[in-house]
Amino acid sequence: MSRFYDSGEAVTRAFFDAWNVQDLDWLADLFVEDADFVNVVGFWWTNRRQIRKAHEYGFRKIFQNARVDLVAVKMRALGDDVEVVHTVSTLDGQNDEHGVTAGQRVAVITIVAHRQDEGGFRIVSCQNTDRVDGADTHFNTEAGFRPATYQTDQGDTDGRPD
């Protein structure tokens, strides 16, 4: 049975709630059938089944003991039926590839929600981006992929224009 969400912000908050209890059925139900989801490393899933399957893998292998907490939410309505929701969240408790708890990550997650004929708002698109404070870009070198900065003034490294 689908739950009803009266706004893009409500369905976004439900996404974080479903993620934290690792309820795959609830999480998948938040998305329209042909939803898009781009994860933090650029994998692009293009339907609800793929989104559910990818999260099942993540909960089993990577995020067994993890929790996300919302830090900030900003909603922008694009008419009566479409809302863009930007969030900042922290992730704690992720396992690294050896099963050791990794450090905290900060993400900016953008969700586009659309009001359905019945059932309220559902997610049509979601993109997850890691925020790396102090970085302006990433470099891919022989040593690997790493964040980098062009900043010379150490007091101006928040990545936001004045």
> Most distant CA pair in the chain: distance in Å?
55
Cα dist from 44 to 34, 48, 126, 128, 138, whole Å: 12, 12, 10, 11, 20
Q: Does the domain made of 8-131 have the CATH classification 3.10.450.50?
A: yes
Under 8 Å between Cβ of 24 and 48? no
Q: What is the pLDDT of residue 146?
A: 86
- pLDDT at 1 exceeding the cut of 80: no
Q: Is 60 exceeded by the pLDDT of residue 162?
A: no
Size of the chain, expressed as the number of residues it contains: 162
For 52-68, the pLDDT digits (tens) are 999 999 999 999 999 99
Q: What is the rounded distance in angstroms from the CA atom of residue 146 to the CA atom of residue 30?
A: 33
CA distances from 140 to 127, 133, 143, 144, 148 (A): 22, 18, 8, 6, 10
Per the DSSP assignment, residues forming a β-bridge with 58 are: none
- Indicate the pTM of the whole model: 0.89
Model pLDDT, residue 155: 58
Q: The tokens of 49 are what?
A: 């089944």
Query: Taking the domains of the chain in order of start, what are their residue ranges?
Result: 8-131, 136-162
Of all residues in the chain, the percent with pLDDT exceeding 70 is 93
Q: How far is CA 94 from CA 55, 62, 66, 79, 99, in A?
A: 13, 6, 5, 37, 9
